[in-house]
Amino acid sequence: MNPHTGRRVALVTGGRRGIGLAVAEGLAADGYDVAITGTRDDDVARAAVAKLRSHGVAGTYVAGDVAAVEDHGRVLDAVEAALGGIDVFVSNAGIAPPQRLDILETTPENFDIVLGVNLRGAFFLAQAVAKRMIAHGRTEQSRALIFVSSCSAEMVSINRVEYCVSKAALAMAVEGFAARLAADGIGVFEIRPGIIRTDMTAGVSSKYDALIEGGLVPAKRWGEGADIAAAVRALARPEMVFSTGTVVNVDGGLTIDRL
């Protein structure tokens, strides 16, 4: 809670643009003071903060690499100094493999880079946030950890299996955090986006345009950042805490088994 404004505080990793910025803006629209992180402190980051503040709330940006576990304390200290204790943590930052390689050709370097951000970094940052939430004591309103994962936690892509592995392992981490933190009044949730229009999917947009048109996604459209933001905003509500451990598919029906 921000002691100066009385508003709840949210931290969204990877919030400079794309899904992260859409989520951060959604929370700002709901009256949260919002901190976002990213690896670069640039005009894009400053423009993102301006968008958050346009909703009449406090917004701040802290540069930091999620993969740098040793730097997590500094990042969280900066967020707390600017806004106060974190009520809602959205673990959104993630990367695709530097090279999309067949499972028989991928390299240890490719594997380590992806899991360093998507799994190891995400896990230990969430751990650090959870410890601070507990240290601050229970509040009248519950807190939440929300992980933006992927349909790739259950759907394999043989030319980027390291990404799928990172998301599948993160799903188990979510269950672990949910079980551990339930008694502390901290809800833990996983959101699994499907095919979402982002910078990450821009290079394969024509491929997915055709697949979506052909029926791959029952909703027959791309997902947008606003779709993910809507799920985060719902799960961030204090009333959702008893649903801890819930997985929400935001994929237009992509992962529904069909004949």
- Residue 70 maps to which CATH number? 3.40.50.720
Q: Are strands 33-38 and 59-63 parallel, antiparallel or unpaired?
A: parallel
Catalytic residue (choose from 32, 61, 163, 208): 163
Range of the domain at 159: 9-247
Q: What is the pLDDT of residues 143-155, one digit of tens each?
A: 999 999 999 999 9
211 within a domain of the structure (yes/no): yes
Is the pLDDT assigned to residue 140 strictly greater than 80?
A: no
102, 160 Cβ separation under 8 angstroms: no
Would residue 163 show up in a list of annotated catalytic residues for this protein? yes
Parallel, antiparallel or unpaired: strands 186-193 and 9-12: unpaired
197 domain residue, yes or no: yes
pLDDT in tens, 168-223: 999 999 999 999 999 999 999 999 999 999 877 777 788 889 999 999 999 999 99
Q: Which of the 8 DSSP states describes residue 70? A: G
Residue 74 has pLDDT above 90, yes or no: yes
In this prediction, residue 204 carries a pLDDT of 77
Instruction: Report d(CA 152, CA 174) in Å as an integer.
Output: 15
The answer to whether residue 135 scores a pLDDT higher than 90 is yes
Give the pLDDT mean for 111-125.
98
Cα-flanking dihedrals φ and ψ of residue 146, to 5°? -125, 120
Number of domains making up the chain: 1
Mean pLDDT of 110-118: 98
* The pLDDT value given to residue 125: 98
Assigned domain for 74 exists = yes
What does the pLDDT read at residue 142? 82
Query: Domain for residue 239, yes or no?
Result: yes
Could you tell me if residue 90 is inside a domain?
A: yes
Does the structure show a pLDDT above 90 at 156? yes
| Residues 82 and 57: beta-carbon distance below 8 Å | no
Is 138 within a domain?
yes
Query: Average pLDDT in the 56-85 region?
Result: 97
- Report the predicted TM-score, pTM, of the whole model to 2 decimal places: 0.95
How many other CB atoms are found less than 10 A from the CB of residue 129? 24
* Mean pLDDT computed over 213-242: 96
- Average pLDDT of the segment spanning 230-241: 96
164 within a domain of the structure (yes/no) = yes
CA distances from 151 to 15, 63, 64 (A): 20, 28, 26
Q: Which two tokens stand for residue 227?
A: 């779709």
pLDDT over 90 (residue 2): no
Q: Is 254 within a domain?
A: no
pLDDT, mean over the chain: 95
**Upper half-sphere CA count for residue 116 (Cβ side, 13 Å):** 13
**What's the average model confidence in pLDDT over 41-46?**
94
